[in-house]
Structure 1
């Protein structure tokens, strides 16, 4: 999403599927700000200051943006937004977690920051942590039945265990494991040569 023209493609899909808030990651925009797009849609973004790497933010419909109470860019991997929805307010934390190849210190720092952000969320708000969390939580819901539903995929990895521990600590569930997936969504891409 490093080019503004790509936002138009995303915007068309948001309209097609009637999506009001879409969490985007790896947008690669520098700094912090907001961009007003066609038809009143808004992209809030938080990225690195000096490099076109990482970065994230929610793209919002005009209706969703009008309910915005505040938004706070934490860093290039975490952004917080609070909306005046009914019957209660909605707090959204958009995330772009480090990949499995990242150093353990980087991953620990990410989850410590994420934990700190959740402490400032009012207790009566609905909290959604969304984005690319770069995890596999697996199909074994018995690993942590308080957090995982019966429709996870594959085997849990180290990043998945970090996510499960985080969710347990603040009483969240991993939504992607609650509902059954279509077969087309159950498999990851494989290269034509079969080795990647």
Structure 2
């Protein structure tokens, strides 16, 4: 299943869109989802009693974008996060276009010193937002080689940055076992695939009033007489359609 969100205006450019691809286990656990332009939120039932997992995927403006557009993006993101219950597990991920760097001074509660490079203005905004919402920046929490930290590479292959992030609310910090990039994934992009390992299991969501799928009588197919009757009935119906077409 594919859940996606992007520009809703007619003839809008195909940029800044986001999506979630759900395997069967996630599709069965899906409780609901919301589209928010360059952001998307999906909620899943987990095997932890009373705990829902909220996934927020987003695309943030680049560092040189107008401040008003950045403010608008973060205001919308804040409103999405605020609607997630503090008792639930919340994951924020995506292309945040934010370099948070190595120095975690003032942000010790939400990041460690395993980041990459130096913090830029977008990184400051992002770190502040994570601190307010108590979201741990997973990319900075696990020691890795530089090649497993960089998430983006420039077209000329001379510059690498860590601007894609996966975060988790601090209450469930120990659920996240690792975050790193996987360079072997050929996704035809200047971004590397960022992967997080979570110690969590999803649970099938049985919705009330769900319509049961019809059961087919397969024994019918083993009855030769029934099969012949079906063939005759089907042929008669097809012949009636052919006759109508000839009349036209």
Same fold (TM over 0.5): yes
DSSP-derived class of the 2:135 partner: coil
DSSP-derived class of the 1:139 partner: coil
Structure 1 residue runs without a partner (length 5+): 1-41
Q: Separation in 2 of the partners of 1:143 and 1:101?
A: 25
* Residue number in structure 1 paired with 2:218: none
Q: Deviations over 1:36-91 (max 9, x none)?
A: xxxxxx1110111322121001111111111000000011x111111001212101
- Do the aligned residues in 2 keep the contact of 1:93 with 1:129 (CA within 8 Å)? yes
Q: Which has the bigger relative contact order, CA under 8 A and spacing at least 6?
A: 2
Q: Separation in 2 of the partners of 1:89 and 1:152?
A: 29
Q: Which runs of 4+ in 1 moved over 3 A?
A: 186-196
Aligned length: 154
RMSD of the TM alignment (CA)? 2.0
Within 5 Å, which residues of 2 pair with 1:1-196? 42-49=1-8, 50-75=12-37, 77-87=38-48, 88-186=51-149, 189=153
Cα deviation, residue 183, structure 1? 3.1
TM-score by length of 1: 0.73
Structure 2 residue runs without a partner (length 5+): 161-248
Larger radius of gyration: 2
Q: Deviations over 1:117-146 (max 9, x none)?
A: 111112211010011111100111224111
